[in-house]
Amino acid sequence: MNILSNVFLGTTRSLMLVSLLAFASAATANNLTPLVDDFSDEINNRLSQPRQFINDTVAGGNTTVQQMVSDGIIRVKGDIVPPRGQPGWASSVLPLAAVGINYDASQYQGVRLLVKLNKGNLTLSANSNEITNFDFHSAPVVVTSDGEFHEVKVAFASMKRGWSEQTALNTATLNSLSVIAYSLQPAGFDFELREVSFY
């Protein structure tokens, strides 16, 4: 009976160890290639967070936006009509966690986009819970308007704040990413995203 108990305990411990190693391996693999969104779902991103859309109408602008998710691609287009004396913008927000909750992206160097720019200008912002005045760290998304998807990598180190004192981006306190179409004057915009991930 004692021998059987020892065999059972040894087998159980071995299975637990194998399970823990498999879980750790899977977690590591997921962390190495963290997919934020592949637009396979019409409403939620890959982190089970619903996408959000906001534009300059909250600041007195008249920008219009249309967005459609189909076949693993989101297409966002519209017309920017800026508020008086301000840039106009339309933001596609990809939450990384629930409102107010930190997402720790400190193990990554930046954000990778598969993007097609048909018309307009884009910027990417990394939105930290530490920033309270909406002047999030951002950088332009530089891509050729040739009707093709391109891989664009935006390093966290290249992101700056627009009008506030320059502070280092704390990537351990991110809550969302935003892909923003913008213009200083009335203009159309049209872009598509196939994938957003960290690298």
Residue ranges covered by each domain of the chain: 1-32, 35-198
Mean pLDDT, residues 67-95 taken together: 97
pLDDT of residue 29: 34
Say if residues 154 and 139 touch (Cβ distance below 8 Å).
yes
pLDDT of residue 33: 53
Q: Which range among 15-19, 79-83, 95-99, 137-141 shows the weakest confidence by mean pLDDT?
A: 15-19
Q: Which range among 20-34, 74-88, 176-190 shows the weakest confidence by mean pLDDT?
A: 20-34
Q: Is pLDDT at 66 greater than 50 in this prediction? A: yes
* Percentage with pLDDT > 90 across the chain: 83
Q: Is pLDDT at 76 greater than 80 in this prediction? A: yes
Q: What is the β-pairing status of strands 52-55 and 88-95?
A: antiparallel
CATH number of 35-198: 2.60.120.430
Say if residues 55 and 65 touch (Cβ distance below 8 Å).
yes
11, 12, 14, 196 from 1: Cα distances, Å = 15, 16, 20, 57
Q: Is pLDDT at 15 greater than 50 in this prediction? A: no
Residue-wise pLDDT for 22-50, tens only, equals: 333 333 333 445 999 999 999 999 999 99
Say if residues 61 and 81 touch (Cβ distance below 8 Å).
yes
Q: Is pLDDT at 11 greater than 70 in this prediction? A: no
